[in-house]
Amino acid sequence: MIYTAIMGHGVVGSGVAEILLGHNSLINQKIKDEIDVKYILDLRDFDGLPYSDKFIKDFEIIANDDEVKIVVEVMGGVNPAYDFVKRCLMAGKSVVTSNKELVAAKGAELLAIANEKNVNFLFEASVGGGIPILRPIAQCLAANEITEIKGILNGTTNYILNKMIVDNMDFDSALSLAQEMGFAEKNPAADIEGHDACRKVCILASLAFGKHVYPEQVKTEGITNITLTDVEYADSFGCAIKLIGSAKKLDNGKITATVKPMLVSRSHILSDVDGVFNAIMVTGDAVGDVMFYGKGAGKMPTASAVVADVIDCAKHLHARKYVDWSEGSTDYVVCPDEKVRLYVYIQSDNYDMICQQFTTLFSDNTWHIKNDFKKEIAFITNEDYESTLMEKINSIKADTVKVMHTLF
């Protein structure tokens, strides 16, 4: 018998309990042993469930029970999850988590402890919800040097942007709907300000490139400034606005890592990823581009990935799995000046002047739309170094100047 414990009985935790207890015979068949949930840790009371007798409120019970070999951490946040996970690993228990905040902040340290104790620390559900992505990068693409990862990593923002594009819904109404549907994080700021996607970029980049990337090293911008006007102009330019997380390996061994809203050409496969779905493109030197697509949020898709990790731990109780990376360093993530095309939106009551500035700086041949009635211009620059383009854009004197990157 292999005993597990689940720490946290929120959206994901309850899904994990349902699958582990509901699919018990299927899982037992797969691991060729019997698995059971011995404890569920949560400070709240959950009466009337078929497994209500398993609830405890004291973490020490799990830490001190040598029979518990696998612990699932689905509480979220860094504290007290970090302390609990560390103690479980130190006590020789394998740990499975969906907690991207924890892995993005402390992954290298926790992996090193797991290594030392010869147990597993697995977190497939921390990126892309139910989409298999970490295991494929570490195992199926192991023969490749990964050069780039980019994608839509946050279901809530993709859902909001999609509602704005398809249903002409404003940002606040679309956010409320996402919260009602249970996609958004407890604090929606983590989604809409890009922190959730940033944490996922950290995990992907750390795994793909072998060195920890910390959240503060990723230049992060969310979608709170995106308006229906931007969405409409993007559409006129044949693009959809998407929140794109990306990490790229440079020739000098350093990497770039960003999260930002971008205008994605309708001819790019990522522009078709709608609703709560996530899609992650991985580029390897041998395989080329591969894409992973599926439900990036929600109770059962995320629980599906968590339970798969539990099964993997159960099958490898005395063997370490593939995942590892080393601690990061301050000069590892850089922001080089690269050639880009930018979307620019300018509005001013002094419309004649901005039209003239636009013509002088960018020429009338630039792909543009003028709205004489609203006194605004939107355009997409030709490709040039970002610093050169930004110098020109910064010299424009207007009431509103908004800039976004493009992905063609």
- Chain contacts with ligand HSE (rule: CB under 6 A): 129, 154-156, 183-185, 191, 196, 296-297
By Cβ distance, which residue is nearest to ligand HSE?
156
> Which C-beta is closer to ligand HSE: that of 123 or that of 351?
123
Taking the CB of residue 394, how many other CB atoms lie within 10 A of it? 9
> Which C-beta is closer to ligand HSE: that of 224 or that of 229?
224
> Minimal distance in Å, beta carbon 276 to ligand HSE?
7
- Residue 163 dihedral angles phi and psi, to the nearest 5°: -65, -40
Q: In whole angstroms, give the CA distance from residue 307 to residue 305.
A: 6
> Minimal distance in Å, beta carbon 197 to ligand HSE?
8
> Minimal distance in Å, beta carbon 184 to ligand HSE?
6
Q: In whole angstroms, give the CA distance from residue 124 to residue 340.
A: 33
Listed in sequence order, the residues at least 6 apart from 187 whose beta carbon sits closer than 8 Å to its beta carbon are none
> Minimal distance in Å, beta carbon 128 to ligand HSE?
8
The CA-CA-CA angle for residues 350, 378, 230, to 5°, reads 115
List, in sequence order, every residue forming a beta bridge with 95; answer none if it has no partner: 71, 121
Q: Give alpha helix (H) positions in 277-399.
A: 299-315, 351-362, 386-394
Closest CA to 325 of 27, 150, 115, 129: 115
> Which C-beta is closer to ligand HSE: that of 158 or that of 406?
158
Closest CA to 343 of 320, 367, 360: 367
- Choosing from 200, 242, 248, 402, the catalytic residue is 200
State the helix-helix crossing angle for 351-362 and 386-394, rounded to 10 degrees: 150
> Which C-beta is closer to ligand HSE: that of 185 or that of 324?
185
> Which C-beta is closer to ligand HSE: that of 184 or that of 354?
184
- Residue 152 dihedral angles phi and psi, to the nearest 5°: -100, 110
> Which C-beta is closer to ligand HSE: that of 13 or that of 129?
129
Are 259 and 162 in contact, with CB atoms under 8 Å apart? Answer: no
Q: Which amino acid is at 305?
A: A
Helix or strand holding residue 174 (H, E): helix 171-180
Listed in sequence order, the residues at least 6 apart from 382 whose beta carbon sits closer than 8 Å to its beta carbon are 341, 366
Active site residue 200: yes
Taking the CB of residue 335, how many other CB atoms lie within 10 A of it? 12
Q: In whole angstroms, give the CA distance from residue 390 to residue 296.
A: 34
> Minimal distance in Å, beta carbon 381 to ligand HSE?
31
> Which C-beta is closer to ligand HSE: that of 77 or that of 336?
77
**Rg of the Cα trace of the chain?**
23
Q: Which amino acid is at 30?
A: K
> Minimal distance in Å, beta carbon 301 to ligand HSE?
9
- Judge residue 110's burial from the number of C-beta atoms within 10 Å of its C-beta, 0-12 exposed, 13-18 middle, 19 or more buried: buried
Residue that is written with structure tokens 């944490």 in the block: 199
> Which C-beta is closer to ligand HSE: that of 126 or that of 348?
126
Residue that is written with structure tokens 């770039």 in the block: 256
> Minimal distance in Å, beta carbon 6 to ligand HSE?
18
> Minimal distance in Å, beta carbon 51 to ligand HSE?
25
Q: Which residues are catalytic?
A: 200
